[in-house]
Structure 1
Amino acid sequence: MTAEGIDLHLADEPATLALGADLARSCPDGARVVHLTGDLGAGKTTLVRGWLRALGHSGAVKSPTYTLVESYEPAGRTVHHFDLYRLTDPEELEYLGLDGYFDGRALCLVEWPERGAGMLEAPDLIIRLRVDGPGRRAHLQPQTETGRTWLRALSDKWQ
Structure 2
Amino acid sequence: MHWPDEAACVRFAFALAEALQTQPPLRDARLELDGPLGAGKTTFVRHLLRALGVTGRIKSPTYAVVEPYELQLPDGQQLAVSHFDFYRFDDPREWTDAGFREIYTAPGLKVAEWASKAAPQMPPPDLRLVLEPQADDSRQVQALACSELGRQWLACVEVKA
TM-score normalized with structure 2 length: 0.87
Structure 1 residue corresponding to 2:119, chosen from 110, 117, 120: 117
CA contact (8 A) 2:95 2:101 kept: no
Deviations 1:60-117 (A, max 9, x none): 2222111110011122221111100000111112232123211252111111111103
**Maintained 8 Å contact 1:17/1:49:** no
After superposition, the CA RMSD in angstroms is 1.4
Tell whether the 8 Å contact from 1:52 to 1:74 is kept in structure 2 after alignment.
no
User: 2:75 matched to which residue of 1?
Assistant: none
2:147 is aligned to 144
Output the CA distance in 2 between the equivalents of 1:69 and 1:86. Answer: 12
Structure 1 contact 36–110 (Cα < 8 Å) conserved? yes
Measured against aligned partners, the alpha-carbon deviations of 1:20-56 in whole angstroms (never above 9, x if no partner) come to: 1221111121251111011111111111111111111
2:130 is matched with which residue: 114, 128, 131? Answer: 128
- 2:157 paired residue among 136, 140, 154: 154
Kindly tell me: are residues 14 and 60 of structure 1, through their superposed partners in 2, closer, same or farther at Cα, counting changes over 3 Å? farther
Query: Where does the alignment leave 5 or more consecutive residues of structure 2 unmatched?
Result: 73-77
Counterparts of 1:153 and 1:117, CA distance in 2: 26
Residue 59 (structure 1) aligns with = 56
Paired residues, number: 151
Letter of the 2:16 partner, please give it.
L
- Normalising by structure 1, we get a TM-score of 0.88
3-state SS of the aligned residue for 2:14? helix
Residue 17 of structure 2 aligns with which residue? 24
2:145 aligned partner, one-letter code: P
Q: How far apart, CA to CA, are the structure 2 residues paired with 1:35 and 1:56?
A: 20
Structure 1: unaligned runs, 5 residues or longer: 1-7
Q: 2: distance between equivalents of 1:108 and 1:52?
A: 11
Answer whether contact 1:79 1:108 (CA < 8 A) is retained.
Answer: yes
